[in-house]
Structure 1
Amino acid sequence: MNNSYIRFLNLIDAIAGLDANKKLDATEEQLLDAVMLAYSQGREILVGDLIHLSKIGSQATLHGRVKNLVTMGYVKLTTDKMDGRKKKAAPTKLAMKHYDSLSKLLTKAVAA
């Protein structure tokens, strides 16, 4: 099939098989996308904002997936200095590397 997006998905699938421990599920990918978009726009995003993305899943599911992203090293949480109950989410170097890899795969898929 001569479709750039399908080639891109195939490349992602091949890469994901290399390190099964760092493979993100669809919910984790969407949460990480939200963190990265906020970061790229210079906005802060709180864990509370993430767990209220009801189109992705329930609050309990999202909270668990945010924990997974922290455990896997894709997201770091910092406590808000003004309100200790709030936790800010930010991408880590691993997350940046992940998106750099995706960008390279997309470029490769489009060029093929």
Structure 2
Amino acid sequence: MKKKIKSSDVYLRFLHLAEAIRGLPSLPPLDPLEERILALVARSGEQEERLCVRDMMAKEQLGAPATIHTRLKSMRTKGWIMLSDTEDARRKQIELTQEAVRYFERLSRCMLQAAKDSV
């Protein structure tokens, strides 16, 4: 008799695989707020939406603007994000670095592997 797979098993398997790639030495670890910021940057890039530093600092759900600014500086130093010029020299667009894109690609493979393992 085949064991019934719960949907939570797939997610838990994904979390286990994702935790393993977070331990890889490619980029320094992020704190929870930086992970939320990274996800916002990734989603806006995927949707081809503009996301500048000022836009990010206006997101009240992330905390005080000074806190967000500090985290953005930290993430740049760690190599997760970069700032690029826009048509307005006073605004900088927040984008993922190539290494951050590879991180999301590895997470995607983890998700696919977790789903595949449950079949």
Which residue identity is paired with 1:88?
Q
In structure 1, list runs of 5 or more residues that go unmatched.
Answer: none
SS at match of 1:45: coil
Q: TM-score, normalised by structure 1?
A: 0.86
- Alignment counterpart, residue 104 of structure 2, candidates 94, 99, 102: 99
Which residue identity is paired with 2:47?
Q
- The structure whose Rg is larger is 2
> 2:26 & 2:104 partners in 1: Cα distance?
17
Matched with 2:76 is 70
Instruction: Summarize deviations over 1:59-98 as a string: whole Å, max 9, x none.
Output: 122111111111111211023332x221111111111101
Two-structure CA RMSD over aligned residues (Å): 2.0
Question: What percentage of residue pairs aligned between the two structures are identical?
Answer: 31
- Alignment counterpart, residue 52 of structure 2, candidates 46, 68, 78: 46
- State the 1:16 CA deviation: 1.9
Tell me, yes or no, if structure 1 residue 61 matches structure 2 residue 67. Answer: yes
> 1:64 & 1:90 partners in 2: Cα distance?
16
Contact kept, 8 Å, 1:46 with 1:87, in 2: the verdict is yes
- Alignment counterpart, residue 27 of structure 1, candidates 25, 33, 55: 33
- Alignment counterpart, residue 110 of structure 1, candidates 105, 111, 115: 115
1:9-24 superposed matches below 5 A:
9-19=15-25, 22-24=28-30
Contact kept, 8 Å, 1:27 with 1:57, in 2: the verdict is no
Could you list the structure 1 runs, at least 4 aligned residues long, displaced by more than 6 angstroms after superposition. Answer: none
> 2:87 & 2:34 partners in 1: Cα distance?
27
Tell me, yes or no, if structure 1 residue 87 matches structure 2 residue 74. Answer: no
Which residue identity is paired with 1:110?
A
> 2:110 & 2:56 partners in 1: Cα distance?
27
- State the 1:56 CA deviation: 2.2
SS at match of 1:78: strand
Report the number of matched residues: 111
